[in-house]
Amino acid sequence: MQNIDTQFTLSRDYLEECFDQTLPHGKNPQPNYLFPGLLIATAAGLLLFTEEPKVAAGILVALAVLELIHIRYRRAWWITRQLWGRSAGREVKLTGDENGIQTQNPFTQTSLLWADIDRVIETDLGLILVAKSGGQQYLSKSLFSAEWISWIVDNNTISDAVRKSSG
């Protein structure tokens, strides 16, 4: 395997691709409407069955509405939060070798060793590296050659087979 050195910008387009490709493989791909439903039910109970001031019920309804807005606009909200960060719009240097992948920008430096990767999920536009600790790192396929992509996926397939036979 050859080493790879490349750079990319943490632009809005890259962050949109990251969100869209990782959402179906995240911990909560489907919105959870249970929490706002429970808030509204509790508020209704407070309004109907107590004679206390209606402030608590109003606050619960407001929290439920806020949670529903959060669910509806979670993509836009996530992208906006990323764009507010110091690293937004900055160049990221990505280096890969037989040990793992390292990323570096002016504010952070991360390293993910191949041995620490539990599995690789291949999406239409990129790869999601799932660490044994549960964290995920998305890498766009546009950053790598076809040879590098197939090496990462094949290497993961081998480690999956070894894990399954030993587990």
Just give the CATH number of 4-26+90-166.
Answer: 2.30.29.30
Exposed/middle/buried for residue 87 (C-beta within 10 Å: 0-12, 13-18, 19+): middle
CA distances from residue 51 to 54, 55, 56, 63, 161 in whole angstroms, order as listed: 8, 11, 11, 21, 63
Which tokens in the block code for residue 137?
A: 């790192």
**Tell me: the pLDDT tens digits for 95-116?**
988 888 999 998 899 999 988 9
- Is the pLDDT at 157 greater than 90? The verdict is no
Closest by Cα among 127, 107, 105 to 117: 127
**What is the tens place of the pLDDT at every residue in 115-148?**
899 889 999 999 999 999 988 999 999 988 888 8
**The pLDDT of residue 1:** 62
Q: What is the mean pLDDT of residues 150-163?
A: 61
Per-domain residue ranges of the chain: 4-26+90-166, 34-82
pLDDT for the residue 163:
43
Q: What is the pLDDT of residue 159?
A: 43
Q: Does residue 160 carry a pLDDT above 60?
A: no
pLDDT in tens, 23-73: 988 777 788 899 999 999 999 999 998 887 789 999 999 999 999 999 999
